[in-house]
Chain A
C-alpha cells in the first residue's frame, strides 16, 4: 500500500494549504509591487504628485485633476442614484410579496452583472449625444455624462445590498411598531431604517467602491482632458478620472521610466481610495448582519 488513507489526508492538507497560500501570496505580492513601483514618482514629485494640476509626460506629474475627476464623478453618481435605489429597496423589502421580491432581486442581480463595456457602448451611442442635445452643449463627453452612466451602473448593486440590509431587520420590530399603531410606512421610517443603518451604509460604500474603479465606461464618455474645469463645479466640462487615465495611457508607458511609475502611483492612490471605501462598506455590512 503506497497510498494509505493517512498519507492522502496529509497530502491533501498540504495541497490545500499550498494553493491557498499561493493565492494569498500573489495578492500580497501584487500590493507590494504597486507600492514599490510607485515610489520613484513620489520621490520625484513629492506631495505635488497629489496636489499638482499639471500632468505632462516628461515634465511634470500632477494627479490633481484625476483625483478631482474621480471624486466628483463617483459622488455625483451616488447622489443621483441613491434616492431611486433606496426607494427601490424599501419597496422590494417592505411592500412586495416574496415572489415579486424574488423576481425583482433576480432582475437586479442580472443587471448588476452587465459588463462595463456595454454601458460604455450605451454611453457613446445614446447618453453622450442625449446630454449634448438636451443641454445644448458643443460636446456630450462631460463629467456629468460619466456620472450619469456610473449611476445607472451601480443602481442594481446598491438596491440589492440595501434590500438585504432592510430585510435583515427582524420582523418582530415591525410587529411591535405596528402594534403601537404606526402605519407600514411610519414603521419603515421610525424602526426599520434606523435599525438597518449600518447595512445601508455598507451598501452605499460598496456601490461607491464599484463606481470608483470603473474604467471602460467612464473612459469612453468623460472627455479625457487632464484638467480641473473652471469654475470647478462646471459639470458640463470634460475631465478625467484615475481609471480612465490608466486605461488610456498604460499601453504607452508599460514598464519604462518615470511615466510608468507615475501611472502606478495613480494606481496606488486609486487602490487606497477604493480599499478604504470597500473595507468600510464590508465592515458596515457585517455589523448590519450581526444585529
Chain B
C-alpha cells in the first residue's frame, strides 16, 4: 500500500508488522482451540447443569452440580458429557427435577449410563430444551442491561472509573459498593476470597466470611447487582459490576455472571496457568466455554496482563504483555466476543527511578491503544513500585492517570496511595478519586493535541516492543518439539521463569477427552452464536484505524 493512502496514526505502526503479529497469534492459538474442542472438564459439565437450572447444595455445602457430575462420572464417565446420561435418567419419569436426581445420585440410588439410538436422541432433545432455558435467561439478562443503560444512562466520561470492594462479608460490601458508586465509581469490582480460585466448587448462598475478599456465589452476585441497580437509578448512570471468571470454576462463574447480569468478568487466557499453576488444558477448555458465555451475555472481559509486569521487569518484559493481548484477542474473538467486550489489560509498573520511565509507559500504553483501537483497554495502576511512601505514591498515581487520559483508556482501575500498606481507607479512596478527577478534568482531552514525534523516542519504543512481540510469537510457533507449540512454550517457561507442563498442575484430574458421541447442548447452542469461529481470517478488521480517536 503506498504511503499516504492509509490514515496516519500517532505511532505510525507498519500495518504489515501488525498483520504479521495477529497472524502469528492466530497460528499459535488455533491448535489450542482444537484441543479445547476435543476435551471437556468437570466445570464445563457443571456449568451446563447450572444452565439447566440445577442450584443449591447438600448439607456439607457441596453443590448439587458437583454431586451429580461426580456420580455420572463414576458410572458412565464424562467422555460423552453429562447431558445424555442425566436426561436419560430424567426421561424415566422417576425424578421430579434435577435436584431430586442429584440427591438420589448422591445417595447412590441411581445408576447412570450413556443411552444409544433413539433413547440418545430423546435425551439429547430434552437436555437441549432445559439447557436452552438457561441460555434464554442469559439473553433476557443482556436485554435487561441494554434497557437499563438506555433508560438510566452510561457514565458521561471515558475512562470508566473502576473501584474495588473487598470486606469478606457481602452485607458489608453492599454499603461500601453503594458508597463507592456515589463517590464516582462507574464499575465496582468485588474481589474474591483469593483462595477461591483453587476451589473445585462454587460456594452457595450469601456469605459473610471471606479472606481478603468475598466469596463469589450466585446469591452474592444477585444481592450486589440488585443493590447497584438501586444506586444506578439514584445516580442516573448504570454502575457496572465485576467479578472473576478464573480459577478452577471459570465456566460456572461465567454462567452465574450471565444469569445474574454481571457486567464485566476478569477472564484471562493464560493467567491461571502461569500464576496459579492450574493445568494448561483445563484452563484452555474452561476458558473457551466461559468466553462463549461472556460473548452471549454481553459481558466485557478484563484480561490480566498486569500480572506479567508485577512479577517481571516492566521494560524488559513489555513485549510479553503485547503477546498476551494478541493471544487473548484471538481466543476471545474465536469464542464470539466482539471488540467492545475486550478489556485487554496493561499496567503502569516501570521503575520510576529509571530515566524516561514516563515516556516508556506512554509508549507502551499508546502501542496497546493503536493495536486494539476498538477495545476498551483496562489500565492498571502501579503496585510494584509503591513503596509505602504515600506521598510519592500519590504522585505516581497522578502520572498513571495522566497516561490513561493521554491514551484514551476504556477502564481505569483507580490506584491507591496506600497500595502495599493497608487495604484502602475511606480517605484513601476519596483522595484517589480527587486525583483521577483532577487529571481527567485538566488533561482529559490532551490526546487531541498530543502526537509523538514520528522518529522520536516514544514511537521508536513502541515499534521496538511490537517487534519483540513478533519475535516471541515466532519463537513460540517455531517450537516443534510439542504438537501444540503454545503448550510447549508454556511448558518451557517462555512466559516468565515459570515452567508449566501440560501434564501437570491443579485441576488436571477434571479434564476428560471427548468421545465421538460427546453431547453438550450448551456448547451446541453457543457455537451457533454469530461470531464464533477460528479467528475468521477473511474477516475485515481495522488494524490501524482509530475509531476511538485517541
The answer to whether A and B belong to the same complex is no
A residues neighboring B (CB under 8 Å): none
